[in-house]
Amino acid sequence: MAQLLLREIPIGAIQGVLFDKDGTLSHSEPHLLNLAKGRIEQAVQRFHGGHPKGSEISRLKSLLCDAYGLNSQGIHPGGTIAVASRHHNLISTATVFCLLGESWPQALALADEIFAAVDARQDQAPSTAETRPLLPGVISLLQSLRTAGVICAVISNDTSSGIKSFLSQNNLHDSITEIWSAEHQPAKPNPDAVKALCKLIKLAPAQCALIGDADSDLQMARQAGIGISLGFMAGWNQPPILTAHQHLIHHWDDLTVRADTKIPHNFSSP
Ligand SMILES: [Mg+2]
């Protein structure tokens, strides 16, 4: 059992912490911006057999930017590219093609081609710790949690391989015990995803904190009965707008941990 402190004020005793990845542990905005731009570029090249009119190109780009959550300041932290899985982004892309007059089978096939082309390009130049670095203060916090005996896990809508490569690029395998990806069933934001991940780390949700940068993470945490839900504000150029948190973190240095042997009587075993 360990005590979490937010800006030096105790906020509760926990035995585990579930972390979101993009925009929480990882400064993912440049990587995701690059991914979104690559998909838009491929969409322009493939729409109408590669020969769209100028006005169609502008509309296509504008709709895809809106669908992904891109704006003049970068990525909207609550947008599809920031929060949703690859599959949901693919469906958003296909929906844009429907808005431009394609049938659903054509739209889905185009979206599939686009995503496969961008994935193939990424396989040739995979992301590294430089392109998807940790946010400042993450390493020190994870080390403190480990020292205090707190089990840490990642719950993300990235693929399992994406999460694993992020962990190995940043040498986090010793700090993160388990992962729950978009391929696990059910994926987040289903609260059963939290319950299943807690089961993997042999804790009850009430014994854990969950930290994320999206309301969908925080609502899911509450519905799952998580002990403490924390919103992380510093992962994007534009701070996320959060409403479902118990507490907000503005920098990882805000959060500290203290080993605490007292076990509150209200916690039950999983
Ligand atoms: Mg996130």
Answer yes or no: are the C-beta atoms of 36 and 4 closer than 8 Å.
no
Per-residue pLDDT, 127: 63
The answer, yes or no, to whether residue 126 has pLDDT greater than 90, is no
Q: Tell which phi-psi region holds residue 29, choosing left (phi > 0), alpha (psi between -120 and 50) or beta.
A: alpha
Q: Please tell me the distance between residue 265's alpha carbon and the centre of ligand 1 in angstroms.
A: 33
Q: Please tell me the distance between residue 49's alpha carbon and the centre of ligand 1 in angstroms.
A: 35
Answer yes or no: are the C-beta atoms of 229 and 246 closer than 8 Å.
yes
Q: Please tell me the distance between residue 14's alpha carbon and the centre of ligand 1 in angstroms.
A: 22
The answer, yes or no, to whether residue 21 has pLDDT greater than 60, is yes
Answer yes or no: are the C-beta atoms of 20 and 211 closer than 8 Å.
yes
Q: What is the mean pLDDT of residues 46-70?
A: 89
Q: Please tell me the distance between residue 52's alpha carbon and the centre of ligand 1 in angstroms.
A: 34
2-28+132-259 CATH choice from 3.40.1440.10, 3.40.50.1000, 3.40.50.970, 3.40.50.2000: 3.40.50.1000
Q: What is the mean pLDDT of residues 198-209?
A: 98
Q: How confident is the model at residue 269 (pLDDT cuts 50, 70, 90)?
A: very low
pTM here is: 0.89
Per-residue pLDDT, 35: 94
pLDDT in tens, 74-86: 999 999 999 999 9
Per-residue pLDDT, 173: 92
Answer yes or no: are the C-beta atoms of 257 and 15 closer than 8 Å.
no
Q: What is the largest CA-CA distance in the chain?
A: 68
Q: Please tell me the distance between residue 214's alpha carbon and the centre of ligand 1 in angstroms.
A: 6
The answer, yes or no, to whether residue 270 has pLDDT greater than 70, is no
CATH 3.40.50.1000 spans which residues of the chain? 2-28+132-259
Q: Please tell me the distance between residue 202's alpha carbon and the centre of ligand 1 in angstroms.
A: 24
Q: Please tell me the distance between residue 240's alpha carbon and the centre of ligand 1 in angstroms.
A: 10
192 vs 131: which has the higher pLDDT: 192
Q: What is the mean pLDDT of residues 124-130?
A: 65
Share of the chain above pLDDT 90, in %: 87
Q: Please tell me the distance between residue 223's alpha carbon and the centre of ligand 1 in angstroms.
A: 18
